[in-house]
Amino acid sequence: MLDNRPRIFHWVEAGLLDENNLAQAIELTNSQPDRQQWLKFIQLGLLWLAVGAFGCGVIFFFAYNWQDIPRLAKFALVELAVCLCAVVYLIHSVNKIISTALLMAMTVLTGALLALVGQTFQTGADPWQLFALWAAFMLPWSLIGRSSILWIFNILLSNLALFLYLDIHRGALWMFWSSDNVFWLFFTFNSSLLVLFELEHVYHFFARLRSSDNHPSSSTRYPQQLLATVALCSISLVAFESLWEGALRKEILAYLLILAAVLAIYRYLLKDLFMLALACLSFIFISSCFILSHLNSAETGIFLLTGLNIIACSALAGRWLKNLAAEFKRLPIAESPADRQQAESEDDQ
């Protein structure tokens, strides 16, 4: 059931509904969680706790009984657990929540199997190989499940593998790559994935329009928002290093162009309030660093000026984002990502 409470609160703020009638409006629109909704929430929580306990139990079982279990028995038990999850997934593939939980269990067991292979045969001494293979092997399940949870886990594994690779090979790469180039690498990797996710999102949006399907898609925008967070943090650190070196180099121009592109795309095309808030936060950080780096630290009032900049930018950004939030709520066909995520969150768990 779609929760109407945000809309009711918006009516109260706009003066369309008396605050004294707020409780009655919530009751009449069935916006208060009932017994069935609480039971569904508890069942969902217990399901994911069971998945986590099952995965951890398998891992700790082998860790505790490592010396007592033969080599082939270890592989047989893990593969048997993966096969059991696959069979149950085929049985419950219609149920989105259960199928996603089973795919996540298979993902955890795949990581356990890769760790078992590496520990048994002493292959892949570098830890980045484990996470890179783990992310690669879970990619088909992410494509099958089309769940934000699976994609987020895959993105985290991929970034962790990239970080560990750069950390291990710093002796070879750091001769040619400075720290800002490493941040450029993270930005390029995550922004490339972000472009792919956004193209897929736009394709399915127009496909639903052509088929006259007004139902929301089964995945939220959390993976895109995670990728944008990592990408903007990386490019912000590039700009930060450039400012701290005391030179307005090409990195600052690139940062401003990227920030302008983010604001234009997510303001007029995709209309994502989270992305705009992230861009505002990045600008506040870089503008404050600009003040601190280009004024003498011994000058009186430098921290006051920086604080005033943070307060002014935060106030302007907050007002702008609040107006945009009200504008996005008035969009037809629920184009606002905030409304879309609210409607889809129940199906995406």
The answer as to whether 100 is a domain residue is yes
Q: Are 137 and 153 in contact (CB under 8 A)?
A: no
Structural domains counted in the chain? 1
pLDDT value, residue 327? 87
The answer as to whether 108 is a domain residue is yes
> What is each CA distance from 222 to 32, 91, 236, 344, in whole angstroms?
26, 28, 21, 11
Q: Give the max Cα distance, the chain.
A: 71
Tell me which residue has tokens 């004024």. 295
pLDDT value, residue 46? 93
The answer as to whether 182 is a domain residue is yes
Per DSSP, 266 falls in state I
SS3 call for 51 = helix
Domain region containing 217: 59-348
Distance, CA of 344 to chain centre: 15
- Nearest residue to 85 via CA among 112, 69, 63, 107: 107
Q: Are 256 and 262 in contact (CB under 8 A)?
A: no
pLDDT value, residue 264? 96
The answer as to whether 32 is a domain residue is no
Q: How many CB atoms lie within 10 A of CB 148?
A: 24
What the block records as the tokens of 135 is 């992310």
The answer as to whether 220 is a domain residue is yes
Q: What is the CA radius of gyration of the chain?
A: 25
What the block records as the tokens of 275 is 């992305």
The answer as to whether 84 is a domain residue is yes
The answer as to whether 89 is a domain residue is yes
Distance, CA of 282 to chain centre: 17
pLDDT value, residue 255? 94
- List Cβ neighbours of 133 (8 Å cut-off, separation of 6 or more): 114, 124
Mean pLDDT in consecutive groups of 10 residues from the start of the chain, 349 residues: 66 73 72 79 91 88 87 91 92 89 93 88 77 94 91 96 84 57 91 94 79 55 95 94 78 94 94 95 94 72 88 96 87 47 45
pLDDT value, residue 336? 44
